[in-house]
């Protein structure tokens, strides 16, 4: 007897389960299925995303439906169209050996008459979004007045999305004697209210700790400057060449922008948000499922309930407002027992939010460093070597080999490998050689405070950016200013970098080890009778010190060109706007080592 059989499931379901390749029931299935099969009861089941809730209600529902009657007996409400279709598909797969069970999906954005026609043919089970369902009820296109089972799936999501009133209205037209099964990842107050109001002494099952994220998910955070989110995102992607990720932004605008930037920089990315037509969204989702898109940039609403297995990373480009939302986001990875990583990009000021999430999900975040350019080069080469090793040779190249061998004649194996690898390495190192440290210094929980002479906090690690009140009009260019600072302070050849000379002031960087020395040297320091003043400006990661809102920071807005604010400023769509070309900026991490490489695998027109 299989474990599924032991739960009391009938033969037709067991056969379908075998076909689907499920071997053992998940915990929520093990707990919910016997209860639902054996009794007519209301049930509240709390289980994290990806724990198999669909089958936990789907199997018993199918078993309990009377397939000889064509009346609608079961109603499943779910928050989004995507989920609706997903559940419908699953239910159809579960019931494939049942002859007469019809499962019909009802959702917005598609022809209501088509859906009404399908219902009319007899649908024992309806899977619906609340909005469209209400609409169809009011037009008398469906009849749920005699259902036996009502399932509220992803109840917390539905309430998050403001479906409370619709759900109340829908439930008010259903019989009192029906059983209501509520499935949810979390139990916010609104869900408890629904349970209290519409359910009769429900049994409760909980899988894992309440409100906790999936334990197979590892949580990491990176502290970066607000303007460095985008370059940091790219480094995280470059560090994980096989990444298959959902990237969450807070707004549709950011979502679109980040996706466009990624595409322009040669990544296989796509956007998913509510301003896209349903057709566009379907295209993006299909490409993502087929892995033609490696990075799906999405809003929370659009990504609700996305059921794509094997997502390796969830990247929180920005943190959501609600901690619950973080749980949903991170639940997109680590599904079906697989492991996954949820990464969060935060600014220094947002670090307290990490503490709040830790408390809520009862899991620790690991503070990680955005990898340096050189680390990424190493990872990419390692990846390349493995890829070459695993490449299956293609006999189509045979005709060209004699000529190629001739060209490469006399180069021994070692040298050939070195050349091959160098070709790749140079591409990456050219790109990353001038890259800065993206980690906001002073990011630790137990950060040291060293009170500088000027009363501001001096960063104790990473690169430090300074403001100096001399510039072009004092006769400096970047080279001569670099020499001047170096000689004055007594630093080494490479110790002063990123010198940026403006008309009447300039910026430069050093490592934080030199900060004390520099500030000391430029205390009441005069050149030709004039005070030359140096202040810590803004460290390259965007943090810095409390003066950054003052003089140093005050100049930031005036700087032109060369800014690394890759995540700012809207570039138009390449296919429509025509705005982009003229506005390409000179950004140090603007293009990507991937440009023109990965891009060949997809066409932008497919996604926008
Ligand atoms: P939830 O609704 O809890 O987020 P789903 O019902 O969408 O989770 O299931 C997540 C994934 O796990 C789906 O791909 C589903 O097919 C798969 N799955 C569900 N139950 C099992 C099982 N017992 N064994 C293997 N895979 C399962
Ligand atoms: Mg689900």
Q: DSSP for 360-404?
A: HHT-PEEEEPPPPHHHHHHHHHHHHHHHHHHPPP-GGGGGGHHHH
47-55 average pLDDT score: 89
233-247 average pLDDT score: 92
pLDDT value at residue 592: 56
Q: Quick check: 39 pLDDT over 60?
A: yes
pLDDT value at residue 454: 34
Classify residue 526 by its DSSP letter: E
Q: What is the whole-number distance in angstroms between the Cα of residue 50 and the centre of ligand 2?
A: 7
230-251 average pLDDT score: 92
Q: What is the whole-number distance in angstroms between the Cα of residue 22 and the centre of ligand 1?
A: 9
Q: Quick check: 608 pLDDT over 60?
A: no
Query: For 25-178, where are the E strands, in sequence order?
Result: 43-46, 74-77, 103-106, 125-128, 149-152
Q: Quote the CA–CA distance of 306 and 317 in Å, as a whole number.
A: 18
Q: What is the CA radius of gyration of the chain?
A: 29
Burial class (CB in 10 A: 0-12, 13-18, 19+), 256: buried
5-9, 291-295, 416-420: which has the minimum mean pLDDT?
416-420
pLDDT by residue (tens digit) across 561-576? Answer: 333 333 333 333 333 3
CATH 3.40.50.300 in the chain, residue ranges: 5-206, 217-372
pLDDT value at residue 579: 30
Q: Quick check: 577 pLDDT over 50?
A: no
Higher pLDDT, 159 or 15: 15
Ligand 1 atom 23, closest CA: 25
Name the percent of the chain lying above pLDDT 70: 82
Which ligand lies nearest the alpha carbon of 127? 2
CB of 335 within 6 A of ligand 1: the answer is yes
Architecture of domain 5-206: 3-Layer(aba) Sandwich (3.40)
Query: Per mean pLDDT, which of 32-36, 374-378, 480-484 is the most reliable?
Result: 32-36
Counting ligand 1 atoms within 8 A of each CB, the residue from 336, 338, 340 with the most, and so the one to mutate, is 336
| Band of residue 229 on the pLDDT scale cut at 50, 70, 90 | very high
Give the residues across from 245 on adjacent strands.
295, 313
Ligand 1 atom 5, closest CA: 52
pTM as predicted: 0.48
pLDDT value at residue 590: 46
Name the percent of the chain lying above pLDDT 90: 40
483-510 average pLDDT score: 87
The tokens describing 212, both together, are 């906790």
Cβ proximity of 176 and 144 under 8 Å: no
CA distances to 74, 149, 164 from 136, rounded to whole Å, are 16, 19, 17
| Band of residue 459 on the pLDDT scale cut at 50, 70, 90 | low
φ/ψ of 95, rounded to 5, equals -100, 20
Q: What is the whole-number distance in angstroms between the Cα of residue 341 and the centre of ligand 2?
A: 20
| Band of residue 248 on the pLDDT scale cut at 50, 70, 90 | very high
Q: Quote the CA–CA distance of 170 and 422 in Å, as a whole number.
A: 65
| Band of residue 387 on the pLDDT scale cut at 50, 70, 90 | confident
Give the residues across from 248 on adjacent strands.
298, 316
Q: What is the whole-number distance in angstroms between the Cα of residue 295 and the centre of ligand 1?
A: 22
pLDDT by residue (tens digit) across 302-352? Answer: 887 577 878 999 999 999 888 888 988 888 887 655 678 999 999 888 888
CB neighbours of 206 closer than 8 A, spacing ≥ 6? 45, 46, 47
pLDDT value at residue 351: 87
Which ligand lies nearest the alpha carbon of 20? 1
Pick the CATH number of 442-556 from 3.40.1440.10, 3.30.1110.20, 3.30.70.330, 3.40.50.10860: 3.30.70.330
Which ligand lies nearest the alpha carbon of 156? 2
Judged by DSSP in three states, 435 sits in coil
**Class for the domain spanning 217-372:** alpha beta
CATH 3.30.70.330 in the chain, residue ranges: 442-556
| Band of residue 448 on the pLDDT scale cut at 50, 70, 90 | very low
CB of 156 within 6 A of ligand 1: the answer is no
Cβ proximity of 600 and 272 under 8 Å: no
pLDDT by residue (tens digit) across 114-133? Answer: 999 999 999 999 999 999 99
Cβ proximity of 158 and 21 under 8 Å: no
Higher pLDDT, 434 or 221: 221
Q: Quick check: 294 pLDDT over 90?
A: yes
Q: Quick check: 458 pLDDT over 80?
A: no
Query: Per mean pLDDT, which of 201-205, 471-475, 513-517 is the most reliable?
Result: 201-205
Q: Quick check: 362 pLDDT over 70?
A: yes
pLDDT by residue (tens digit) across 70-88? Answer: 999 999 999 988 899 999 9
Q: Quote the CA–CA distance of 306 and 472 in Å, as a whole number.
A: 55
Q: What is the whole-number distance in angstroms between the Cα of residue 87 and the centre of ligand 1?
A: 11
pLDDT value at residue 55: 97
CB of 51 within 6 A of ligand 1: the answer is yes
Give the atom of ligand 1 at the shortest distance from the alpha carbon of 47: 3
Which ligand lies nearest the alpha carbon of 154? 2
Q: Quick check: 456 pLDDT over 90?
A: no
CB of 50 within 6 A of ligand 1: the answer is yes
pLDDT by residue (tens digit) across 129-165? Answer: 999 999 999 999 999 999 999 999 999 888 877 788 9
pLDDT value at residue 380: 84
Q: Quote the CA–CA distance of 513 and 516 in Å, as a whole number.
A: 7
């Amino acid at each position: 007897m299989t474990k599924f059989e032991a739960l009391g499931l009938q033969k037709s379901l067991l056969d379908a389960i075998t076909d689907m390749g499920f071997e053992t029931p998940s915990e929520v299935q093990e707990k919910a299925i016997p209860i639902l099969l054996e009794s007519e009861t209301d049930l509240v089941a709390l289980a994290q995303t990806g724990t198999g809730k669909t089958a936990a209600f789907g199997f018993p529902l199918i078993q309990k439906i009377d397939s000889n009657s064509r009346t609608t007996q079961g109603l499943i409400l779910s928050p989004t169209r995507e989920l609706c279709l997903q559940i419908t598909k699953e239910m159809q797969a579960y019931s494939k050996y049942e002859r007469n069970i019809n499962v019909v999906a009802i959702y917005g954005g598609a022809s209501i008459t088509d859906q009404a026609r399908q219902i009319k043919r007899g649908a024992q089970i309806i899977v619906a979004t609340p909005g469209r369902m209400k609409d169809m009820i009011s037009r008398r296109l469906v009849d749920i007045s005699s259902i036996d089972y009502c399932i509220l799936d992803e109840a917390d999501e539905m309430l998050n999305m403001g479906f409370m009133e619709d759900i109340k209205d829908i439930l008010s037209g259903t019989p009192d004697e029906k059983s209501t099964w509520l499935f949810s990842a979390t139990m916010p107050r609104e869900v408890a209210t629904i349970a209290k109001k519409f359910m009769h002494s429900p049994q409760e099952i909980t899988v894992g700790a309440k409100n906790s994220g999936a334990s197979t998910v590892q949580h990491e955070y990176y502290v970066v400057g607000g303007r460095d989110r985008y370059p940091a995102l790219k480094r995280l992607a470059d560090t994980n060449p096989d990444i298959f990720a959902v990237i969450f932004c807070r707004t549709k605008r950011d979502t679109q922008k980040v996706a466009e930037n990624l595409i322009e920089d040669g990544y296989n990315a796509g956007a998913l948000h509510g301003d896209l037509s349903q057709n566009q969204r379907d295209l993006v989702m299909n490409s993502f499922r087929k892995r033609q898109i490696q990075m799906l940039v999405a809003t929370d609403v659009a990504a609700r309930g996305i059921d794509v297995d094997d997502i390796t990373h969830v990247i929180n480009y920005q943190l959501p407002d609600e901690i619950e939302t973080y749980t949903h986001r991170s639940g997109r990875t680590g599904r079906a027992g697989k492991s996954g990583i949820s990464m969060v990009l935060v600014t220094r000021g947002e670090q307290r939010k990490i503490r709040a999430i830790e408390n809520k999900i009862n899991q620790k975040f690991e503070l990680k460093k955005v990898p340096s350019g050189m680390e990424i080069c190493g990872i990419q080469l390692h990846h390349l070597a493995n890829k070459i090793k695993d490449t299956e040779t293609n006999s189509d190249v045979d005709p060209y080999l004699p000529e190629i061998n001739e060209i490469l004649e006399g180069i021994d194996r070692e040298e050939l490998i070195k050349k091959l690898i160098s070709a790749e390495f140079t591409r990456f190192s050219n790109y990353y050689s001038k890259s800065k440290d993206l980690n906001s210094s002073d990011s630790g929980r137990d950060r040291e405070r060293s009170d500088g002479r000027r009363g501001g906090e001096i960063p104790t690690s990473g690169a430090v950016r300074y403001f100096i009140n001399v510039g072009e009009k004092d006769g400096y260019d970047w080279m001569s200013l670099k020499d001047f600072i170096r000689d004055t302070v007594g630093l080494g050849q490479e110790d002063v970098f990123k010198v940026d000379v403006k008309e009447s002031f300039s910026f430069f960087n050093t490592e934080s080890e030199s900060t004390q020395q520099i500030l000391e040297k430029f205390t009441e320091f005069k050149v030709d009778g004039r005070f030359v003043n140096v202040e810590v400006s803004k460290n390259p990661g965007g943090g810095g010190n409390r003066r950054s809102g003052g003089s140093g920071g005050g100049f930031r807005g005036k700087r032109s060109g060369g800014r690394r604010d890759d995540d700012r400023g809207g570039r138009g769509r390449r296919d429509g706007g025509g705005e982009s070309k003229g506005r390409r900026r000179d950004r140090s991490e603007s293009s990507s080592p991937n440009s023109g490489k990965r891009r060949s695998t997809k066409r932008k027109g497919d996604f926008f």
